[in-house]
Amino acid sequence: MADLSKKDALVQYAAQIGDNGLIIGHRMSEWCFRAPSIEMEMALMNCALDLIGQARELYSYAAVAEGAGKTEDNFAYLRDEQDFRNALLTEIPNGDWGDTIVRLFFMSAYNKLFYTALGNSKDSELAAVGAKSLKEVTYHLRFSSEWLIRLGDGTKESHARVQNSIDNQWTYTGELFTMTEAETLLLEDGISVDVASLKADWDQIVAQVLTQATLTVPAEGWTQIGSKANGVHTEHFGYILTDMQYMQRRYPGCEW
């Protein structure tokens, strides 16, 4: 296999960060008209809009960096399953309200650390996206933390269910801190974020909020990996693309 060029690494990297935002944003948008109350629905839709907005900026940049005349839409609507490199955590099904909050909390804690670091990237475009996105994900972290505390320190039922959500999703969190070939290559030039180094701070945020929520942090153990490095997804992912890409696949070039 030929060595990955720096240019290809940058395209992959920008697209991969975008994939995280698009996929979790899409998952949250599935709550539209289904959330328990209108305030909760507005909150999820607002967060989803931020995350999909961030993905659009990153895909647009990936398209420019690639220089092949593509647009953000090519990245979202015309790539196949194996081309998406989102973290597995972002694609797992919504489950109940607690599952959705836990997933958003885990991702937002990661995003806050990630975008803080990306704000210092030597790549000025990525640094700009990082600084802008940081403001948004900080808000998501506060929102999801408050809900986690309310559920954990709530009733016996909500406590047990949200602890179960945490235990179920824990195995997907480790992948966030693994480095891809592109990330390692771009780290030499100060472009990418050393995500492995974010784990200790992430653990600290998680421990702090979970303690306040009277919840237990699961023990470190075996971690699910596959999507971020190789595009090997859970069985749920194909259904996301079927839903999201249907119009462009059925009516190529269709516009609103």
Partner 1 sequence: MVKLMASLDKNFDPARVWSLLEEVKDPEIPVLSIVDLGIAREVNKSEDGQLEIVISPTYSGCPAMYMLEDQIKDTLSRHGFMDPIVTTQLSPAWTTDWMTESGRIKLEAYGIAPPEKTTRNKTVLFGGQKKISCPRCKSDNSEQISEFGSTACKALYRCLDCLEPFDYFKCI
b (16+ CB within 10 A) / e for 104-118: bbbbbbbbbbbbbbb
Helices (H), 30-123: 38-66, 72-77, 88-91, 97-118
Q: E strands within the chain?
A: none
| Rounded distance between C-alpha atoms, residue 106 and residue 79, angstroms | 26
**Nearest-approach distance from CB 113 to partner 1, in angstroms:** 18
Q: Identify which of residues 106 and 115 has a Cβ nearer to partner 1 in the complex.
A: 115
| Rounded distance between C-alpha atoms, residue 16 and residue 22, angstroms | 10
**Nearest-approach distance from CB 53 to partner 1, in angstroms:** 3
CB atoms within 10 A of CB 1: 3
Q: Identify which of residues 133 and 192 has a Cβ nearer to partner 1 in the complex.
A: 133
**Nearest-approach distance from CB 205 to partner 1, in angstroms:** 14
Q: Identify which of residues 87 and 134 has a Cβ nearer to partner 1 in the complex.
A: 134
Q: Identify which of residues 90 and 133 has a Cβ nearer to partner 1 in the complex.
A: 133
**Nearest-approach distance from CB 43 to partner 1, in angstroms:** 4
Structure tokens at 87: 């973290």
Sequence-distant (≥ 6) Cβ neighbours of residue 223 within 8 angstroms? 171, 172, 173, 174, 175
**Nearest-approach distance from CB 76 to partner 1, in angstroms:** 13
Footprint of partner 1 on this chain (CB under 8 A)?
39, 42-43, 45-47, 49-54, 56-57, 124-125, 127-129, 131-133, 135-136, 139, 142-143, 146
Q: Identify which of residues 147 and 177 has a Cβ nearer to partner 1 in the complex.
A: 147
Q: Identify which of residues 131 and 217 has a Cβ nearer to partner 1 in the complex.
A: 131
**Nearest-approach distance from CB 105 to partner 1, in angstroms:** 14
Are 12 and 35 contacting, i.e. CB atoms less than 8 angstroms apart?
no
